[in-house]
A and B are shown apart, each in its own frame.
Chain A
């Protein structure tokens, strides 16, 4: 039988677990660990939600004054390059 995962092992593989890039066997062992270890369950759950919250943030559009200054600067540059 493979030895049980420790909380340290769990933390080490947390990223790959959350990114779903773990092999089936290790994934199963992690899932086993978090059903038995309430602390690690909380860490997995809240870290997953942290990532989801940030991914779900609406991108704030670039302020229009910043964009128009950028475009002006670029137009100058591009016009100079074309000559």
Chain B
């Protein structure tokens, strides 16, 4: 069977074939998600080498443990969970920082305080080249706490639902919601520095 004949195949079929150790079917699954997993791993580890390790380990492990995959969730949600765990392990090892964890922490609500409010230009992106814009958007995400970053990337960049994000990160739905709100508000504030209308000064909220 030529490789190209699998490109239109639905995911459930590819997973079933891969379980039967069909290398072509699994390669097709990998091709569908490798870019997203690599980007996610880069966002969490903030390091290209670590991200590549995470990418390889994720798809190796997934292949080994395919029989543990329950068809009830999406394949992508399942591998994201593997990738996030691998990426956090890397972070911990590199920083030897035990505080890096996705465990639920007490929600103090402190970060939802909005400090800066200024209207944006009509098309503020036009002020920047594609490369500048990419760099600016990436570094804003990178400056978020890893907990918020993972939630934001899955929910708003990868377009997972709140429930899928919760499942992938092993968090409760309310925890995902409160982290997403903080991530969005923090990013909004960071981007405001670049996108605010010229001449408008930020003023304090309330």
Pairing of A with B: yes
A15 and B180 CA atoms in complex are apart in Å by: 8
* Interface size band for B: 35 or more
A15 and B183 CA atoms in complex are apart in Å by: 11
A71 and B117 CA atoms in complex are apart in Å by: 47
| B-side contacts of A51, CB under 8 Å | 156, 184
Q: Are B120's CB and A70's CB within 8 A?
A: no
**Interface flags, A1-24, vs B, CB<8A=1, else 0:** 000000100010011001000000
Give, as a whole number of angstroms, the nearest-CB distance from A43 to chain B: 6
Give, as a whole number of angstroms, the nearest-CB distance from B198 to chain A: 15
Known: A45-B119, A62-B38, A78-B26. A50 touches B191 (CB 8 A): yes
| A-side contacts of B125, CB under 8 Å | 53
What is the predominant secondary structure among interface residues of chain B facing chain A? helix
Known: A15-B177, A69-B56. A55 touches B134 (CB 8 A): no
**Interface flags, B178-201, vs A, CB<8A=1, else 0:** 001100110110011001000000
Q: Are B117's CB and A42's CB within 8 A?
A: yes
Q: Are A55's CB and B159's CB within 8 A?
A: yes
**Can you name 19 extra interface pairs (CB under 8 A) apart from A54-B156, A69-B52?**
A15-B180, A15-B181, A15-B184, A39-B206, A42-B117, A42-B118, A45-B119, A50-B188, A50-B191, A54-B141, A54-B157, A55-B157, A60-B39, A66-B55, A70-B55, A74-B56, A74-B59, A78-B21, A78-B23
Residues of A within 8 A of B (CB): 7, 11, 14-15, 18, 39, 42-43, 45-47, 49-51, 53-55, 57, 59-62, 66-67, 69-71, 73-75, 77-79, 81-82
